[in-house]
Amino acid sequence: MGKLFGTDGVRGLANTELTPELAFRLGRVATYWFGRNNRRPAFFIGRDTRISGEMLEAALAAGICSAGGEAVLCGVVPTPAVAFLARKHGAQAGVVISASHNPFPDNGIKFFAGSGYKLPDATEDELEKLLADKDELPRPTGEHIGTIRYRHDLLKEYIDYALSTVDVPFAGLRIVVDCANGAAYEAAPAVFRKLGAEVFVINDKPNGVNINRDAGSTHLEGLQQEVILRGADLGIAHDGDADRCLAVDETGAVVDGDQIMVICALELLRQGKLAENTLVATVMSNLGLHQAVKRAGGKVVVTPVGDRYVLEAMLAHGYGLGGEQSGHIIFGGLSTTGDGLVTALQLVAARVRAGRRLSELAAAMTRFPQVLVNVRVKSKAGWQDNEAIAAAIADAEQELGDDGRVLVRPSGTEPLIRVMAEGPSQPELESLVERVAAVISRELGS
């Protein structure tokens, strides 16, 4: 059996790669693993709006019951709601059935520990070992068979928690919310309305097959148009499972994850509440983010791509804010994982406190042009030891000097080397990237 757990749980085409049989077995092995110190481990399970979600939820819950666990079905709720509820209620684990921003035929299953944090690699490896073994795990009988509880009412607890993260009203603001026909369709509009905003909602009619379809944080065109049409102060876009957030300002311009982090970091710096005066970002964050935070008296710690690396740095050093350009942002004092709704609330609260338009706040960061080229190679092994490639990268870096940067890294899933350059001049960047890519293709190309 190949490796199942990827960077964000088990994913695949629903009913072909991610089958109900696999979901059932995942439920069994997880119950055995998390039940070693608890005779009836509890799992809080949430899902997004995909048509395959109910099928996988039923199979997962059956597997949990067959191993003597308790499945608490929360229904359609945001991913961060599952992490919050599992932690609040003392569950042994939380489980989310979602493929995030992927198209609707895909689905996924990812676990949170009872602490609300994603599972470490070592635990996922143990679960994979159990899956690979012949299924000889205990099968309790009689009163020891597991149970299922249906608790969609717990969504209100998550909404109340989200409301508690801000202390300013949103009265007088006109906000457009794009729910991506996904897991945010109930919670997001309710929270903004409770805070007093005038809310216009789009893509909040999930039918099982329209999640993320021309909607949400991966398709901002509709939100941009609606913000202009409504004369709104801003727009908020979530992805399918609502752990991400991007925004649109009052002019219809996109405010990406880097800009959101800068706005929130600068507000926290102003209040003296940014832990260690530090923002955590990945290597893909724009150079403008670094400059904006530095100008304000803060600093940026850089991690590899992936929210788990951001969180690792935050936990290791006590940093309070970190995230990715994609809008997956973690407020350490508020959440154990990326939370699109909490991010949106912190962004709007920063705008309210500043008393300035979102476009003005976003202008604190100059977004430098970025050029990215993928070079297909025979093998990625040893690319960093190739003298010709190293020389080409060094030449490009010298040409850019302090005004930009060059980032070359292998793809984690494909036979590709990614070449990215960032700086003030788009034509110069394109020329630099083409030259480096040509050397990589000559040396390693297929």
What single DSSP character describes residue 333?
Answer: T
100 catalytic per annotation = yes
Contact 173, 209 (CB under 8 A): no
Residue written as token pair 């997880």: 30
CA gap 437, 155 in Å, rounded: 49
Provide CB contacts within 8 A for 32, sequence distance 6+: 67, 130, 137, 138
Other Cβ atoms closer than 10 A to 394: 11
For residue 391, list its beta bridge partners. Answer: none
Contact 81, 342 (CB under 8 A): no
CA gap 180, 189 in Å, rounded: 12
Provide CB contacts within 8 A for 121, sequence distance 6+: none
CA gap 425, 215 in Å, rounded: 31
What does 229-279 look like in DSSP terms, one character per residue? HHT-SEEEEE-TTSS-EEEE-TTS-EE-HHHHHHHHHHHHHHHT-SGGGEE
Candidate list 100, 285, 326, 335, residue with the active-site label: 100
Decide: helix, strand or coil at residue 44: strand
Strands 254-255 and 245-248: antiparallel
Report which of 273, 289, 272 is spatially closest to residue 331, judged by C-alpha positions: 273
Give the helix ranges, DSSP H, for 302-425: 307-317, 340-354, 358-362, 387-400
What's the one-letter identity of residue 47?
A: R
What does 387-409 look like in DSSP terms, one character per residue? HHHHHHHHHHHHHHGGG-EEEEE
- CA of 79: how far to CAs of 187, 342, 354, 392, 400, in Å? 12, 12, 30, 43, 41
The catalytic residue positions are 100
